[in-house]
Amino acid sequence: MTGFETLVADNLQPLERFVKFRIGNPSDAEDVLQEVLIAAYHGQETLADESMFKPWILGIARNKCNDYFRAKAKRMEIPLESLDETALTTGIHGVTARTVVRETLELLGDADKQILYLSYFKDLPQAEIASRLGIPVGTVKSRLFHAKQQFRERYPYQPKGEQKMKHNRRIMPDVMPDYRITKIDGEPFPVCWEEMMGWFIVPKLGEKRSWAMYDFPKRSRTEQCDMEVVGRAEVHGIEGVEIEAVEYDPMDCNKIDGADVAKRRFVAQLTDTHCRYLAESHEEDGVKKLFTFLDGDDFLESWGFGENNCGNETHIAPKGLIQKEGSVVTTAKQPFMLDVVGRYQVEINGRTYDTICVIDAGAYNEGVLSEQYLDRNGRTVLWRRFNSNDWMQDSYRRPWTELLPENERITVDGETYVHWYDCISDYIL
């Protein structure tokens, strides 16, 4: 094996992950990957330092992906009335559901959207635009100037500078409110669930959320987390939004440097079919640490979800992978099991919600089952966690039936699981 082949073999996994994250069609992704390898082979003499091979070949991959999208855009025929629904960023599972550019375009009139579309998305020269619209070139110039000005005035973010989260902390209740869950006859209703898995916030500009954990049986509040989407972000060429999270009194496993306040930043992406994490960062021992989806197990074990970190589906419906009858849960015993198991009425904090129950059986963490009750808005009303009786015994030393003898128990494929804690957010307050 030559030195170049060794370098390719050592970096093939992040290279494949990069290309497949950007291009959703598997066949197209393989074609682009081959183009990258061919271009790298023919251009290997331009690599002056072998230690820079990874960023060098990822740069080639970025250019090839951009070429792919440019070629695809030339074949696109998008009517004017559909422009505000058009993808400006493409990922593994479709277009970014809400981008700041799209939101700004929605505020413009049809004439401004039309001229911007023809100039920037169709990449037509001004003479061609004039011919298509039947107007003088001078009018094209003036309309284009006006449209760009209107766009700038409505664009919500300055091009430079970092937005800081305004910490208007909302104190969650000290004690978990009483609740009652009742099974309802009838089919589960369809839900568009756009929240980030495990963090209860929708990764869209302007979103804020506070949520808290409550230990059982005491029902006392332990950790509280305040979150806010602070701006748009891009990781390895994939567009998303940046989210700041401040955790107060975090659990030991969530602490940073043993402190009582933990601060993190996420980059998350919401597409028309999935919601996923792209990056996480925090400061530890005075060093800022950044993990992205290209970092393999260091990232995926904590923040990844689904096959190839595709994320959780936003449009969910029963799949028959998980069944729940009372306190008995049975599963299809396959990877990434998340399923709708029924319709339930949840009475909590003096209100009654019509919900569907979504069960995650080991998809996010082996030996852990969660029940998530979502209302018709796709927002979490109540989240409940159960641990298998032998979960993390290297750390906890005793089975959970002994650690929490008073807590509710269920069986999952014949094994005992014990209720540990619940989460609620300010959505229900």
Residue 377 lies in a domain: yes
The span from the CA of 176 to the CA of 212, in Å, is 9
Beta carbons within 8 Å of 166's beta carbon, 6+ residues apart: 228
Residue 75 predicted with pLDDT over 70 = no
Q: Is 256 left (phi over 0), alpha (psi -120 to 50) or beta?
A: beta
Q: pLDDT: is 121 or 40 the higher one?
A: 40
**Range(s) of the domain holding residue 240:** 194-307
Residue identified by tokens 């808290």 is: 212
Q: Give, for 59, the enclosing helix (H) or strand (E).
A: helix 53-75
Q: Are residues 255 and 296 both part of a single domain?
A: yes
Residue 160 lies in a domain: no
- Find the range with the poorest average confidence among 172-181, 231-240, 416-425: 231-240
Residue 132 lies in a domain: yes
Q: Are residues 209 and 246 both part of a single domain?
A: yes
How confident is the model over 181-222, as pLDDT tens digits? 999 998 999 999 999 988 999 999 989 999 999 999 999 999
Q: Are residues 255 and 333 both part of a single domain?
A: no
Q: Are residues 183 and 326 both part of a single domain?
A: yes
User: What is the phi/psi pair of residue 271, to 5°?
Assistant: -110, -175
Residue 302 lies in a domain: yes
- Which has the closest alpha carbon to 248: 264, 231, 229? 264
The span from the CA of 201 to the CA of 205, in Å, is 11
CA atoms within 13 A on the CB side of 134: 0
Residues 280, 299 contacting (CB under 8 angstroms): yes
Model-level pTM?
Answer: 0.68
The span from the CA of 383 to the CA of 214, in Å, is 10
Q: Are residues 265 and 401 both part of a single domain?
A: no
Residues 291, 236 contacting (CB under 8 angstroms): no
- Which has the closest alpha carbon to 22: 74, 58, 76? 58
Q: Are residues 84 and 71 both part of a single domain?
A: no
Of the residues 307, 340, 374, the one at which a domain ends: 307
User: What is the phi/psi pair of residue 129, to 5°?
Assistant: -60, -45
The span from the CA of 111 to the CA of 148, in Å, is 12
How confident is the model over 160-172, as pLDDT tens digits? 444 444 445 568 9
Of the residues 307, 339, 360, the one at which a domain ends: 307
Residue 35 lies in a domain: yes
Q: Is 323 left (phi over 0), alpha (psi -120 to 50) or beta?
A: beta
Q: pLDDT: is 109 or 404 the higher one?
A: 404
Q: Return the beta strands (E) in 28-151 as ranges.
A: 90-91, 94-95
Q: In this structure, is the dihedral angle defined by the CA atoms of residues 125, 128, 130 and 133, taken in order, positive or negative?
A: negative
CATH of the domain at 62: 1.10.1740.10
Residue 269 predicted with pLDDT over 80 = yes
Of the residues 58, 75, 92, the one at which a domain ends: 75
Residue 209 lies in a domain: yes
The span from the CA of 101 to the CA of 85, in Å, is 11
Q: What angle is formed at CA 25 by the lines to CA 24 and CA 31, rounded to 5 degrees?
A: 115
What is the residue-averaged pLDDT of the chain? Answer: 84
- Find the range with the poorest average confidence among 139-143, 161-165, 267-271: 161-165
Residue 257 lies in a domain: yes
Q: Are residues 145 and 293 both part of a single domain?
A: no
Predicted local distance difference test score (pLDDT) of residue 93: 39
Q: Are residues 57 and 29 both part of a single domain?
A: yes
- Which has the closest alpha carbon to 414: 330, 302, 317, 354? 330
Q: Are residues 69 and 35 both part of a single domain?
A: yes
Which two tokens mark 234?
């891009």
Which two tokens mark 56?
């060098």
Residue 286 predicted with pLDDT over 60 = yes
Q: Are residues 271 and 302 both part of a single domain?
A: yes
Predicted local distance difference test score (pLDDT) of residue 79: 39
Per the structure, the count of domains in the chain is 4
Strand-strand pairing, 409-412 and 328-331: parallel
Which 3 state secondary structure label does DSSP give 205? Answer: coil
Residue identified by tokens 């319709």 is: 343
Number of residues that make up the chain: 429
Q: Give, for 395, the enclosing helix (H) or strand (E).
A: helix 393-396
Beta carbons within 8 Å of 362's beta carbon, 6+ residues apart: 337, 368, 369
Q: Are residues 20 and 90 both part of a single domain?
A: no
Residue 283 lies in a domain: yes
Which two tokens mark 116?
């911007």
Q: Are residues 184 and 40 both part of a single domain?
A: no
Residue 150 predicted with pLDDT over 90 = no
- Which has the closest alpha carbon to 241: 156, 365, 364? 156
